[in-house]
Amino acid sequence: MAGLISRGFLGRRRPPEVEKRLPPGQYLVTDFPVLSAGPTPHTPVDRWSFRIEGLVKSPVSWSWSEFQQLPTETVTVDISCVTKWTKLDTKWKGVTVDTLLKNVEVDPAGQYVMAFSDGGYTTNVPLNELTNGQGFVAYEFDDKPLAAEHGGPARLVVPHLYFWKSAKWIRGLRFMDRNLPGFWESLGYHIHGDPWKEERYSGD
């Protein structure tokens, strides 16, 4: 379909230093849109836990207060939603997946991870895209506790993939030997979801 010019469309250019940080087809936002398929769960932290299960030697679980004791990192990253918005320089505090995995022995076959959340949401990410600082479980955004509509008390953040991979209201990681699709991945969205390759939908 190359060759179509939209008659009379000029577009809104951002400064080059911004434009180069926007993956193809994305536009810049300065607010923080909310996209969720259903109602926002409101899990009190005293009933919250985080669990690692599936293909691991023995599952491990943290209460909220135990999770707060884990070493944290603060990162500033750009995030891109498949609904086309990109937000630059978002600041998160949380626990890296690397740190979590120090507490568990993963079966060598467990190369794929299903993140699961309150409300039944799931999303799949290969293990090698969560380690080496690529994925973390965040509970602060912009130096404040993460609001429920943005995924609080804690959400996964995997900034190099479309943001549906950054599961809101996360409650754990399940290790799998196959790259099974999660919620949106079962509904026509891309199994991987790299914004720079524009992997929005199945077949992209």
The residues of the shown chain that bind another protein, judged by CB under 8 A, are 1, 4-13, 24-27, 29, 31-42, 83-84, 119-120, 147, 149-150, 183, 186-188, 200-204
* Residues 153/64, Cβ–Cβ less than 8 Å: yes
Name every residue whose Cβ is closer than 8 Å to that of residue 12 and which is 6 or more positions away in sequence: 27
DSSP string, 47-108: G-EEEEEESBSS-EEEEHHHHHTS--EEEEEEEE-TTSEEEEEEEEEEEEHHHHHTT--B-T
CB of 107 to another protein, least distance (A): 30
Work out how close the CB of 131 gets to another protein at its nearest, in angstroms, rounded to a whole number. Answer: 29
CA angle 125, 73, 78 (to 5 degrees): 60
Residue nearer to another protein on the CB measure, 5 or 46: 5
User: Integer distance in angstroms from the first to the last C-alpha of the chain?
Assistant: 15
Edge to edge, what strands does the sheet with 112-117 contain?
A: 60-63, 49-54, 170-176, 112-117, 122-126
Considering the complex, state which of residue 27 and residue 196 has its C-beta at the smaller distance from another protein: 27
**Shortest distance (Å) from residue 203 CB to another protein:** 3
If the CB atoms of residues 27 and 132 are measured against another protein, the closer one turns out to be 27
User: Residue 161 in 3-state DSSP?
Assistant: coil
Residue pair 179/125 in contact by the 8 Å Cβ criterion: no
- Residue number with CB closer to another protein (18 or 109): 18
Taking the complex as a whole, the smallest distance from the CB of residue 159 to another protein amounts, in Å, to 19
Q: What is the largest CA-CA distance in the chain?
A: 61
Least distance CB 184 / another protein (angstroms) = 8
Shorter beta-carbon distance to another protein: residue 84 or 160: 84
Q: Which is nearer to another protein, 66 or 142 (CB)?
A: 142
CB of 149 to another protein, least distance (A): 6
